[in-house]
Amino acid sequence: MALKLKTPRWWIYHILVGGFALIMLYPVIWLVMSSFKPSDTIFITAKSLIPDTFIWTNFIEGWKGIGGNTFGHFIKNTAILVVITLIGQVISSAVIAFGFARLEFKGKAFWFGIMMVTLMLPHDVVMVPQYIIFSKLGWLNSIKPLAIPAYFGHPFFIFMLVQFIRTIPRELDEAAIIDGCGTFKIFSKIIMPLIKPSLATVAIFSFYWTWESLLGPVLYLNSPTKYTVSMALNMFLSNETVSNWGAMFAMSVVSLIPVFIIFFLFQRHVVEGISTSGLKG
């Protein structure tokens, strides 16, 4: 394989794709480089990409965090929320999607329609009534309003998995039925392994969306000790006086690292999945 790759075609591919990636990444590189510049020169020296001298003070300053909570503390809060949410969203969405994609029952179209409607109504207008519900439940100032709904499926993921399950030939289920498998077995033994790439996609999205989500934590978390990364990042800025840009950039970079690693690890499953095991045929 490696030998075959070093053809002129290989070179052209890598120069084109790599070059294009570099252009796409220019703003990201700028972000990373800026986190090594002194806070007050970030904008003045914006034209020059590489800092004159690399300084680490932004990272040290930023890591100290806010109000006695280190940035590591916010990362821990976010990680806990992300893991709880991710497990819930992946499992529940897969189960629900299987129901919509493979089973026949009365009212299926109705419920599917309802699900799409929940996606289309702007969140701002349901936010306040929802807040009141969670306050009556006594869930305020905890991650419950953020994490518990994750166990009831996420419309985006449900719809996505439905579409993927529908690309799988039904003959496979039917063969399994002949072998004596029940509906749940078909779900867990046939469909689940086959949609592994899309489950990996769901996991990536779920991880990242929870990681960066701002509105939910802003609404429901009151104590700064419970804040998430995205809220902490906003706190480096000031609308009245001087913002701590350097610390904000540095911690933005730091908070990118976990998502970056997770993506790199999971993306392999997105593209491997069934292509290695191979569909019968």
Binding of residue 235 to other proteins (CB under 8 A): yes
- For other proteins, which residue of 66, 75, 82, 84 counts as binding (CB under 8 A)? 66
Binding of residue 268 to other proteins (CB under 8 A): yes
Q: Which is nearer to other proteins, 51 or 149 (CB)?
A: 149
Q: CA neighbours within 13 Å on the CB side: how many for 245?
A: 16
Contact 189, 31 (CB under 8 A): no
Strands (E), the chain: none
d(CA 65, CA 231): 11
Counting every residue written for the chain, the total comes to 281
Nearest approach, Cβ of residue 85 and other proteins (Å)? 13
d(CA 160, CA 163): 5
Point out which residues pair with 69 in neighbouring strands. Answer: 66
Region binding other proteins by CB under 8 A among candidate stretches 50-58, 73-81, 248-256:
248-256
Q: How far is CA 196 from CA 27, 188, 276, in A?
A: 33, 11, 12
- For other proteins, which residue of 174, 179, 193, 277 counts as binding (CB under 8 A)? 174
Binding of residue 4 to other proteins (CB under 8 A): no
Q: Which is nearer to other proteins, 5 or 83 (CB)?
A: 5
What tokens does 155 get? 């419309």
Residues 108-147 that bind other proteins (CB under 8 A): 108, 111, 114-133, 135, 140
d(CA 218, CA 239): 17
Contact 248, 62 (CB under 8 A): yes
Binding of residue 231 to other proteins (CB under 8 A): yes
Nearest approach, Cβ of residue 190 and other proteins (Å)? 12
- For other proteins, which residue of 3, 8, 53, 239 counts as binding (CB under 8 A)? 239
Q: Which is nearer to other proteins, 53 or 121 (CB)?
A: 121
- For other proteins, which residue of 172, 181, 190, 192 counts as binding (CB under 8 A)? 172
d(CA 221, CA 217): 5
Residues 7-46 that bind other proteins (CB under 8 A): 14, 17-18, 21, 24-28, 30-31, 40-44, 46
Nearest approach, Cβ of residue 56 and other proteins (Å)? 18
Binding of residue 230 to other proteins (CB under 8 A): yes
Query: In this structure, how many other beta carbons lie within 10 angstroms of the beta carbon of residue 111?
Result: 13
Backbone angles phi, psi at 182, to 5 degrees: -85, 175
Residues 192-221 that bind other proteins (CB under 8 A): 194-195, 197-198, 200-201, 204-205, 208, 212, 214-215, 218-219
Q: Closest Cα to residue 170, out of 194, 150, 145?
A: 194
Residues 70-109 that bind other proteins (CB under 8 A): 92, 95-96, 98-106, 108
